[in-house]
Structure 1
Amino acid sequence: MLSTELNYPITKSNHALAIKPQVLAIGEFDGVHLGHQEVIKRARERADSLHISASIMTFHPHPREVLGQCKYTNLLTPVNTKLQILEQLGVDDTYLVSFNPEFMKVTPEQFVENMLIPMQVETVIVGFDFTFGHRGAGTPDDLCELAQGRFAVEIIRPFHQNGYKVSSTMVRQHLHAGEIDKANALLGRPYSITGTVVTGDGRGRTIGFPTANIDLSEAFVTPALGVYAIRFHVDGRSYNGVMNVGKKPTFVEDLDKPTFEAHVFDFSESIYGREVSVDLISFIRPERKFASVGELIEQIHRDADTAKQQLVSIFQ
């Protein structure tokens, strides 16, 4: 998949784009959840029927981050993760538009005339709640009107699961509540974080549970603090394991931010400095402070046994 960074406006002088007819799906797509996947799937279908490329236009940073909504500094799928998922979904090209204060002032009309028309889009596909232009003034209906027959517009209806509209906000809510099974169901895959294995305090090894301490590579949404059954990926191989997301209250007072410590079953390699990814499969228990190290060790044994029982039925 080709990924291209774009700035407004698109002109022949400031972008060396290989302009070609294409179907373009537009959206933020944070999480690339089942609702987003419906939009992307339709773009792929339309492109295949016309024998042209299926492309995505998305934005970085997240528009709500630029608008000062702090919770959007952490994302379900930070940009590199999102690009990887889009490629897996069969997207041919992704355009990453710089969402900066100047772009915020662009009107819906200017967005169409100076971004979409120069790209020779044949069809634009958006979700029902898509907005564009200054203060989100443009709606899907406005996009249809502004197209003026120069390109087609398709609007995808909301995607529901169990009677609820699937949204990035709902995925975040489930993650913060420790409802990883519900979050994963909305995503259509396990929630995953990536990072580099770094040196920790070595305490896990001294109590019989060596851990891979993961320094996150991007600003991921932090799930509820606690213990998770996980699928651990390194160097193209996958293992079952258990991970604590938390502030280690048994040992530390007032740790600034959560740590991600994974104990991988049947694994003894040194992987310091390696990039790894971790899929969160199920939530075992909330983090809590133990009265003694011995009590903590006993609980870790129980957590590991629980994770093994849950994972063996999924990953043989």
Structure 2
Amino acid sequence: MEIIFLEYPIRSSTAAETAVPKTLAIGHFDGVHRGHQNVIRRSMEAAKAEGLQAAVMTFHPHPKEVLGQGQQYVTCLTPLDDKIKRFLRLGVDVVYVIKFDLSFSAVTPAEFVEDVLRPLQVKKAIVGFDFTFGVRGSGHAETLVSLGQPDIGVEIVEPLMQDGDKVSSTLIRESLLEGSPETARQLLGESYEVRGIVVHGEGRGSKIGFPTANIEPEAAYVMPRQGVYAIMADVEGKLIHGVLNMGVKPTFHEHLPKPVLEAHLFDFNGDLYGKSIMIRFISFLRTEKKFGSIDELVKQIHSDAEQARAVLTAFNM
């Protein structure tokens, strides 16, 4: 898979280097959820049927972040590197990443088609039913159909529904904030993941018999509801079961500036400091609470670990 970073206006030399007739799935694709996957797979199917290259175009950073239209868009379900890896797993040939800045936000729908799609030799564009583009989102899927004529075909993919709701990045965010990684997994098609670096913590876990890996997220991920989770950790390609607390450790602190991720990995004794690990959130076990003593906390951690082991055993069956 080839990854090409673009800025508007696209240089003629860049366009010439990548000017292979292609299908193009277009969208921000935060989460690359099952609805997004439908759009991308349709692009790949059309490419195969018509003998074209299968490409994906995404925008970075999120347009609403650049335009100041929502603080929630400072965080994301899939930072760019994670998003690209998911595109790779889907099997696309090329990923275009367009820098979304104030200059690009002023591009009209007609300029987008004329100055971006045509120079890249897009023969068919595949978009979701709610796709918008161009200045202030003035272009819609139907606009693209009209502007693409006669040389760019357009296919509009209908929404994917689950339990009466449209599969969307917004719904996934809401599910995570409600403490339902199970629902998020159904919408994503895989468990929600957060990648981070293991850093030094307070060392208290080892003293009470539950050593923990303190994880500093590598990007501005959407963080799930604070509490205790059954997790799986990908450590250098090996999946290890565990239990994770995300919170402010009220038993030991009156106030922490931000939640801390502490993972206790079952039957693991290796050195993780400085390593990058991926945490998969499997199930929410309980809310975080303050305990009256260390003994009460240790007893609860034992219970959490037993519950997590049971959940993860059932999950893998």
Question: TM > 0.5 between the two?
Answer: yes
**Structure 1 unaligned runs (5+)?**
none
Tell me by how many angstroms 1:88 deviates: 0.6
The match for 1:103 is: 104
SS at match of 1:256: coil
Map 1:37-116; keep pairs closer than 5 Å: 37-68=37-68, 69-116=70-117
Question: Match for 1:122: what amino acid?
Answer: K
Within a 5 Å distance, the mapping from 1:122-201 to structure 2 comes to 122-201=123-202
| 1:151 aligned partner, one-letter code | I
What are the ranges of 5 or more consecutive residues in structure 2 without an aligned counterpart?
none
% identical equivalent positions: 49
Amino acid in the other structure paired with 1:314: F
Check whether the contact 1:108–1:134 (CA below 8 A) recurs between aligned residues: yes
Residue of structure 1 equivalent to 2:266 = 265
> Partner letter of residue 40 of structure 2?
I
Cα separation, partners in 2 of 1:41 and 1:293, compared to 1, 3 Å: same
Instruction: Tell me what 1:121 maps to.
Output: 122
- Which secondary structure does the structure 1 equivalent of 2:118 belong to? helix
Shift of the alpha carbon at 1:294? 1.3
C-alpha contact (below 8 Å) 1:33/1:168 kept by paired residues: yes
Cα RMSD over matched residues? 1.1
1:232, 1:278 within 8 Å by CA — same for their partners in 2?
A: yes
**What do the CA deviations read for 1:164-190 (whole angstroms, capped 9, x no partner)?**
111111100110010111111111100
Q: Distance in 1 between matches of 2:44 and 2:205?
A: 47
Structure 1 residue ranges (4+ consecutive) displaced by more than 3 angstroms after TM superposition: 13-17
How far is 1:104 from its partner?
0.7
Q: Secondary structure at the match of 2:12?
A: coil
- CA gap of 1:71–1:267, structure 2 versus 1, over 3 A, is same
Separation in structure 1 between the aligned mates of residue 36 and residue 14 of structure 2, nearest angstrom: 30
Contact kept, 8 Å, 2:214 with 2:263, in 1: the verdict is yes
User: Could you tell me how far apart the structure 2 residues matched to 1:15 and 1:250 are?
Assistant: 58
Q: CA deviation at 1:90?
A: 1.0
User: In structure 2, what is the Cα distance between the partners aligned to 1:276 and 1:295?
Assistant: 30
Matched residue of 2:119: which SS? Answer: helix
Alignment deviations for residues 245-271 of structure 1 (CA, whole Å, 9 cap, x no partner): 111111112211111111100100001
TM normalised by structure 1 equals: 0.98
Return the alpha-carbon distance in structure 2 between the equivalents of residues 96 and 251 of structure 1. 44
The aligned counterpart of 2:36 is 36
C-alpha separation in 1, matches of 2:112 and 2:217:
35
Classify the secondary structure of the residue corresponding to 1:269.
coil
* SS of equivalent residue, structure 1 residue 144: helix
Aligned length: 316
TM-score, normalized by length of structure 2?
Answer: 0.97
- Is the Cα–Cα contact under 8 Å of residues 24 and 54 in structure 1 kept in the other structure? yes
1:162 shift after superposition: 1.1
Q: Distance in 1 between matches of 2:234 and 2:28?
A: 27
Residue identity in the other structure for 1:312: T
Contact 2:15–2:120 (Cα < 8 Å) also in 1: no
Distance 1:74 1:43 in 2: 28
AA at the equivalent of 1:21: P
Report what 1:239 is aligned to: 240
- Give, as a single letter, the amino acid of the residue that structure 1 aligns with 2:207: T
Separation (CA, whole Å) in 2 of partners of 1:54 and 1:253? 53
Task: Tell me, in whole angstroms, the C-alpha distance in 2 between the residues paired with 1:158 and 1:302.
Answer: 42
- Counterparts of 1:51 and 1:307 in 2: how far apart (Å)? 49
Give 1:196 shift: 1.0
Amino acid in the other structure paired with 1:211: T
Counterpart contact for 2:227–2:284, Cα < 8 Å:
yes
